[in-house]
Structure 1
Amino acid sequence: MHHEAGRFTRAVALVTALALLCASGLASAAGAMCSARSPAHRVALVELYSSEGCNSCPPADAWLGQWKNGGAARSVVPLALHVDYWNSLGWTDRFSQHRFTERQESLTHLAGDHTIYTPEVFVAGRELRSWSRPESFNSRVAQLIGQPSDADVALDITPRAGGAFDVAARFDSRIADAAARLDAYVAVYENALSTQVGAGENRGATLHHERVVRQWFGPVPLVGGNAHIRRDIRLADAGANTGTDFSADRFGVVAFVENAATGDVLQVADLAFCH
């Protein structure tokens, strides 16, 4: 009787060990890669064009930060793009990139306008001057998410050794018009940033930023309705010269597909870096 009980105990221990091993393997596999897929409806990509040299920009930065973890059931995806045309006016914004000035100019020209300014907000590729009025912004978002999407976006992030991450984005279009050129983009953003401004209009202020775009890839044209963007992202490069600790918790990726002729953003996917 004692011998049978011992065998039973060993069997239970073996089954328990195997179960724990399997559970560990599943957790490891789940932790090895994280993924995001765009929903069936359109998602509102909110682009804020900002600068640390602009004294009317901090309220807009704070406004954008309320969606840093997603909003409206993750139907709002915010990005802060710092432009460089303020840099000669007293304070050089360390997050500014000329390509963001060029993108702001491009979206403005596609809309038939010729004036760029900060802070300026685009929602799904269209300017929204009344962004600070909740009823106006909420109405625009509700209009977008009430529409079926003409494209699908898939994002996968796989951690690598040494603080590197393999980012893979896939874009698929359902637009029947083969003449419509669609472009794919990937943006790496960083949260929880702050700057003590020493000159310019915000001199003496400590500014706080969320969703600041650090790296930008694209445009990559969709061919036959499909495109792929794959990049090896190193956090030390994404946050170069910012004094950050390169914690993966601060970073994320946004991928979106855009109509090149109109600037309309058809669909978006958003994914924080996993460990």
Structure 2
Amino acid sequence: MTGIMASRLKLVLVASGLTALLQPAFAEPPRAVVELFTSQGCSNCPPADALLVEYSQKPDIVALSFPVNYWDYLGWKDTLAHAEFTHRQKDYAHARSDRQVFTPQMIVNGKKSCIGSDRAQIEKAIQTTAKGRSTLPVDIALTEQNGMIIVSITEIAEVAHREAEVWVLPVLRSQTVPIERGENKGRTVTYANVVRGLKRIGEWHGGSARFELPAEAARSGADGYVVLLQAEEDDKPSVILGAAKSAGL
């Protein structure tokens, strides 16, 4: 290979690498966000955890595990649980006015509560909350450049909620936990897309918007991150209008 040809090849590879770096996580918005509230101390949770692993492998689904801590009193402390996730689950219940808090519970698009292991119920909830759309109504594109994450928001369909908050969630892609005590003693459970925190980075008021934050802050030591655009009602989480996930999730 001549020096000129090698130089051209290097330029092509560099250009291709930059293009890949700047590509959004989704070519189009996902069709749903599913949030599983689960616990290592819950004997009914492993089938739901396995189902969430399946959903995490679908490119058009944002699947998240939220380990809760209210079963810790049984004697086995959930090693991934956080009180903030329990608070989020209870806020959802108050927002729906049904006060139903249980594990495994799946919340679909911020609105519908389902049994976390009931695939048919979850699929029906996805269709119901989509309201005839094939994707969420607001597009979120993610790019990374010079150590910064750029979150670009574009409204692609009319939405009832014109006010929403932008959240970044650090996520562990997969965690396998051997459970030594409690109802699941002796089992080894794999959890997909385990959320490690909730960080509010701004407000959205309809139309197009742009937000930036350091990539290190978004990951916070996790494998990747998810961005949610979520409306609120009476200071409680409501419908999810848009979502995106970083590469590899």
Interval containing the TM-score (normalised by the shorter chain)? 0.7 to 0.9
Partners of 1:255 and 1:236 in 2: how far apart?
Answer: 11
Question: Residues 134-168 of structure 1: CA distance to partner in whole angstroms, max 9, x if unpaired?
Answer: 443333334428326442212123586xxxxx433
What corresponds to 1:152 in structure 2?
139
Structure 1 position 138 matched with structure 2 position 139: no
Structure 2 unaligned residues grouped into runs of 5+: none
Name the CA shift for 1:178/1:209 in 2 (closer, same or farther; >3 Å).
Answer: closer
Pairing partner for 1:126 from 105, 111, 123: 111
Q: Larger radius of gyration, structure 1 or 2?
A: 1
The answer to whether the 8 A contact 1:43-1:268 is kept is no
SS in structure 1 at match of 2:13: helix
SS in structure 2 at match of 1:53: coil
Structure 1 position 86 matched with structure 2 position 75: no
Name the CA shift for 1:149/1:38 in 2 (closer, same or farther; >3 Å).
Answer: farther
Partners of 2:150 and 2:79 in 1: how far apart?
Answer: 27
Structure 1 unaligned residues grouped into runs of 5+: 1-11, 161-165, 240-250
Partners of 1:138 and 1:205 in 2: how far apart?
Answer: 28
Letter in 2 for 1:230: L
Pairing partner for 2:14 from 12, 18, 25: 25
Question: Residues 99-122 of structure 1: CA distance to partner in whole angstroms, max 9, x if unpaired?
Answer: 111111111111112231111111
SS in structure 1 at match of 2:2: helix
Partners of 1:131 and 1:177 in 2: how far apart?
Answer: 27
Letter in 2 for 1:146: G
Partners of 1:108 and 1:128 in 2: how far apart?
Answer: 9
Partners of 2:100 and 2:161 in 1: how far apart?
Answer: 29
Q: What is the deviation of 1:273? A: 4.8
What corresponds to 1:245 in structure 2?
none
Partners of 2:199 and 2:24 in 1: how far apart?
Answer: 19
What corresponds to 1:9 in structure 2?
none
What corresponds to 2:49 in structure 1?
61
Pairing partner for 1:232 from 211, 215, 234: 215
Structure 1 position 44 matched with structure 2 position 29: no
Letter in 2 for 1:16: M
Q: What is the deviation of 1:131? A: 5.2
Partners of 1:235 and 1:253 in 2: how far apart?
Answer: 6
Pairing partner for 1:254 from 217, 221, 226: 226
Q: What is the deviation of 1:195? A: 1.2
Name the CA shift for 1:223/1:235 in 2 (closer, same or farther; >3 Å).
Answer: closer
Letter in 2 for 1:231: P
Equivalenced residue count is 243
Partners of 2:204 and 2:105 in 1: how far apart?
Answer: 28
Structure 1 position 213 matched with structure 2 position 195: yes
Which piece of structure 1 moves more, 192-201 or 148-157? 148-157
Name the CA shift for 1:218/1:252 in 2 (closer, same or farther; >3 Å).
Answer: same
Letter in 2 for 1:118: T
Which piece of structure 1 moves more, 105-114 or 144-153? 144-153
Question: Residues 154-183 of structure 1: CA distance to partner in whole angstroms, max 9, x if unpaired?
Answer: 2123586xxxxx433233446888984311
Letter in 1 for 2:168: V
Name the CA shift for 1:63/1:224 in 2 (closer, same or farther; >3 Å).
Answer: closer
Partners of 1:76 and 1:175 in 2: how far apart?
Answer: 19
Partners of 1:149 and 1:236 in 2: how far apart?
Answer: 24
Letter in 1 for 2:241: L
